[in-house]
Amino acid sequence: MEIVKSIFNYLVFPGLIFSVFAGLMACWIDRKVSARLQWRVGPPWHQSITDIIKLLGKETIFPQGGKFTFLLAPFLGFLSASLVAAILGWSILNPDKSFSSDLIVVLYLLLVPAVAVILGASASRNPLASVGASREMKMVLAYELPFILAVIAMIIKSSGAIQLGKIINHQLFFGSNILSFSGLLAFLSIIFCIQAKLGLVPFDASEAEQEIMGGALIEYSGLGLALFKLTKAVMLYTMPLFVIILFMGRDLSPLFMILKFVGILVIFILIKNTNPRLRIDQAMRFFWRVPTLLSAVAVVLNLKEK
Amino acid sequence: MNFKLKALTKSIWVFHVSAGSCNNCDIEILDCLTPRFDVERFGIQLVGSVRHADALLITGAMNKKSVPLMKKIYEQAPKPCVVVAVGQCALSQHMFKDSYNVEGPLDSILPVDVYIPGCPPRPEAIIDGIVKLVKKVRGEK
Ligand code: SF4
């Protein structure tokens, strides 16, 4: 019975199917809000779903090169992103039942979509895709340090619990992490990191449509492209959820959950629509200075409190 | 099949090929994406890579250098993919008709699904052409 339940949890709710749907809705919110900011009307609510159905119905072209890796990469990214969604959703539903050190698993799995992009781009043997892959690699190096430092700051704050459920429970008793000064600093830095993790505009050099024509995804069509778009959608749902667990875990009733989720999403969209793209070296310099410093200060402040 | 076609007509991603145009048609195509006309309402998006495209918008007078490349681009696009000829140049060569370096109108080179005349066509005309395209694709089902 337990096994059936875990499979249900992974495949339907709160895992794969639910996260795909929520992610596509998040994509639509992104497109709609962007359109409204530019005084346009924007697409209807089912647009992202239609895009995916259309892509699934199209021909998949394999370039010369590693065919197996080429198609493996999008599956890898998509499955690990939805697994993260399942773990996060599970620990929100049952904070007492999360397994120990699941935070570390989540941190590793969150890295896999970026690795999948690098893998797929390299397998496609396209020169522009390899430029995209190298930029993605540099971007990972840039944002991963402040991201993990910010998470460590929150772990120290919840008296060293490397467990999502315990972090939520700690906030239940002592108030949301974001309300303290160190929590605010870590929150600011993690917002920038997630902007880069999601590949949104100031840090989207690896997918720059205008200069390297879709970059890493340039050779993907049909199924592969659909899976990469789905991975993006699921990440767009998971990352705000992750922020909510780490920083705003106090009131997790459905209404507040949705409000917080949309609020965080709108922050990302506003940053995306008001900033021009950074060159990769500028992005790296930025990440290793501002967010790293913010996260480091947050860690030190928390260590002092303890 | 029906379902797939319906999804296709609701989310057309266009790739823009300039086969030797004077750049005016291309500006009018971009006009369709501005707040005034906003074709994203209908799910139409401009994409950077031909592998993502559902429709090729081809402009210009088909000069000898660009025709082989254009054929290659058409072969690289995942099918089903439609071809839209935009502007008088692509339709009938326009003022370059007797020029030494052009190869002939677009429909003598690739199968064209929709013709959008004008020099350059107004954004309204382009949107009208897209509506006709959608009707055509759905009528064939
Ligand atoms: S049709 Fe007119 S505007 Fe368009 S490319 Fe030809 S000359 Fe230029």
Domain ranges of chain A: 2-305
Q: Where are the domains of chain B?
A: 10-138
**Confidence check: pLDDT of A209 > 80:** no
Residue nearest atom 2 in ligand 1 by C-alpha distance: B119
DSSP code per residue over A196-261 = HHTT-GGG-GGG-HHHHTTGGGTT--THHHHHHHHHHHHHHHHHHHHHHHHH--S---HHHHHHHH
Q: Which residues contact A299 (CB under 8 A, 6 or more apart)?
A: A149, A152, A153, A156
Asked if A288 contacts A196 with a C-beta cutoff of 8 angstroms, the reply is no
- The amino acid occupying position A81 is A
Is A114 in a helix, a strand, or coil?
helix
Distance CA A16, CA A80 (A): 10
CB atoms within 10 A of CB B100: 7
Q: Each residue of A106-156: pLDDT tens digit?
A: 889 988 988 988 888 888 888 888 888 888 888 888 898 999 998 888 888
Q: Please report the pLDDT score of residue A42 as a whole number.
A: 82
Nearest to A154 by CA among A142, A143, A144, A166: A166
What atom of ligand 1 comes closest to residue B59's alpha carbon? 5
The overall average pLDDT reported for chain A is 85
- Does the domain at B10-138 match CATH 3.40.140.10? Answer given as no
Asked if A171 contacts A158 with a C-beta cutoff of 8 angstroms, the reply is yes
Residue nearest atom 5 in ligand 1 by C-alpha distance: B21
- The amino acid occupying position B85 is A
**Confidence check: pLDDT of A204 > 80:** no
Which one of B25, B57, B91 would you pick to mutate in the ligand 1 pocket, going by the greatest count of ligand atoms within 8 A of its CB?
Answer: B25
Residue nearest atom 3 in ligand 1 by C-alpha distance: B120
Q: Each residue of A212-260: pLDDT tens digit?
A: 666 778 778 778 888 888 998 999 999 998 888 888 877 777 888 888 8
Mean pLDDT in residue range A30-34 = 89
CA dihedral defined by B81, B82, B87, B92, rounded to 10 degrees? 110
Distance CA A52, CA B8 (A): 10
Q: Please report the pLDDT score of residue B1 as a whole number.
A: 53
Nearest CA in chain B to A57: B4
CB atoms within 10 A of CB B130: 22
**Confidence check: pLDDT of A48 > 80:** yes
CA dihedral defined by A149, A154, A158, A162, rounded to 10 degrees? -60
Q: Each residue of A55-110: pLDDT tens digit?
A: 888 888 777 767 788 888 888 989 898 888 888 888 888 777 777 788 888 889 98
Q: Please report the pLDDT score of residue A306 as a whole number.
A: 66
* B136: its two tokens: 């055509």
Nearest to A214 by CA among B53, B108, B66: B53
Q: Please report the pLDDT score of residue B141 as a whole number.
A: 47
Distance B91 CA to ligand 1 centre (A): 10
Supply the DSSP symbol for B79: S
- Its pTM stands at 0.87
Distance B88 CA to ligand 1 centre (A): 6
Asked if A205 contacts B31 with a C-beta cutoff of 8 angstroms, the reply is no
Q: Please report the pLDDT score of residue B49 as a whole number.
A: 83
Ranges under pLDDT 50 in chain B: 141
Q: Please report the pLDDT score of residue A251 as a whole number.
A: 75
Residue showing tokens 């797929």: A120
Of A39, A44, A60, the CB nearest to B35: A39
Name which of A33, A41, A58, A212 to mutate to probe chain B: the one with the most chain B Cβ atoms within 10 A of its Cβ.
A58
Is A145 in a helix, a strand, or coil?
helix
- According to DSSP, the residues that pair with B45 across neighbouring strands are B13
Give the binding-site residues of ligand 1, using a 6 Å CB cut-off.
B 21-22, 24-25, 59-60, 87-89, 94, 119-120
Q: Please report the pLDDT score of residue A161 as a whole number.
A: 79
What atom of ligand 1 comes closest to residue B120's alpha carbon? 3
| Residues above pLDDT 90, as percent of chain A | 3
Taking phi over 0 as left and psi of -120 to 50 as alpha, with beta for the rest, B4 belongs to: alpha
CB atoms within 10 A of CB A135: 24
Q: Please report the pLDDT score of residue A211 as a whole number.
A: 66
Q: Please report the pLDDT score of residue B31 as a whole number.
A: 86
Q: Which residues contact B73 (CB under 8 A, 6 or more apart)?
A: B15, B17, B50, B56
**Confidence check: pLDDT of A45 > 60:** yes
Q: Do A214 and B38 touch (CB under 8 A)?
A: no
Distance B41 CA to ligand 1 centre (A): 27
